[in-house]
Structure formats: C-alpha cells, structure tokens
Amino acid sequence: MNEHAMPLPIAADHPAYAGHFPGQPILPGVVLLDAALHALGARQGMQAMPGILGSAQLKSAKFHSPAQPGEALILHATELPAGGLRFDIRCGDRSVASGSVFFSQGPPA
C-alpha cells in the first residue's frame, strides 16, 4: 500500500476558533474534515473546476483529541485495496482524527 504524508495547514487565527470555544479554542471537527477532504481530493486529482463535479463519500470518521490554534497537523493517507483512502491526522505522536473516504469523478449517483 502507498502511504503519503502532507502538512494540513490551518491558520491559528481561523475564524472558527473564536466561537468554538471562547477562552479554550479548539478546531471544530467539520473544519478539520473539510481541510482533510480538500487535501485528499487534490491528491487524488479532484479539483474544484466549473462544470466538473466530483464527490467524496466519507465512510468513517473518528475524532481522537482536539486540535488547538497553531498546532502543526500532518495528514497521513494510505490507499485502500478497494480504491479509497484511509487517513490519519496527527499532531506529533498524537492522533487527532482518522477515517476513510472514497472519491468519484462526475455527479453523485
């Protein structure tokens, strides 16, 4: 299986931190997954181009620990035999989130 690692940059001043949660900011899971899906989609050759639709089917997602502003997140991806990707988002030795996703070109079925 082929494994890839790439930085998952999320600005320390991302607006989502302001309301989630005041005084003790953590990155909302939806923002984390959105960044990961965009990075994984780009790796798979999926680009947001007008007139070309693609979809991502998130098969599983688990949040292990919170990501705080300024933490260096690394996205690890491993190709699955069925064609999807298994991903693990890490901060150093700590797992932040993991899951699996499948991408397809064209309009969703």
Residues serving a catalytic function are 20
SS3 assignment, position 16:
helix
Host H or E run for residue 38: helix 29-43
Rounded Cα distance, 104 and 97, in Å: 23
